[in-house]
Amino acid sequence: MLAPVIDEIAEKYETTLKVVTVDIDEEPTLATMYQVKGIPATFLIKEGVVETMLTGGRSFAQLDREVKVLMEFNEGSLPMAQCGE
């Protein structure tokens, strides 16, 4: 289950990330807009542009590594949205 990992990421990066979870059954327009092909799907979005899209579960270490890479690359805060579960 990805929810506990997302919660850990939200806590760790609470001052630099905006973490949002979306139930795609309740928000099918977002699922279409972001072309969700499978769930869970995790998107790292900066200024409205999807920088990374991950499908499937991830450990905290794996997701943390993805966030760090993008934050170092972009040198700034990065909102994250998660769809599914």
Residue 70: exposure state from Cβ atoms within 10 A (0-12, 13-18, ≥19): middle
**Residue that wins the pLDDT comparison between 8 and 85:** 8
Mean pLDDT of 27-40: 91
Which pLDDT value is given to residue 9? 93
- Domain boundaries of the chain, sorted by first residue: 3-83
Residue 18, φ and ψ in degrees, nearest 5: -110, 115
pTM to 2 decimal places = 0.75
Domain 3-83 CATH class label? alpha beta
**Residue that wins the pLDDT comparison between 2 and 85:** 2
User: For 36-81, what is each residue's pLDDT tens digit?
Assistant: 988 899 988 877 888 889 999 999 999 999 888 888 765 544 455 5
Residue 63: exposure state from Cβ atoms within 10 A (0-12, 13-18, ≥19): buried
Cα–Cα distance, 63 to 74 (Å, whole number): 17
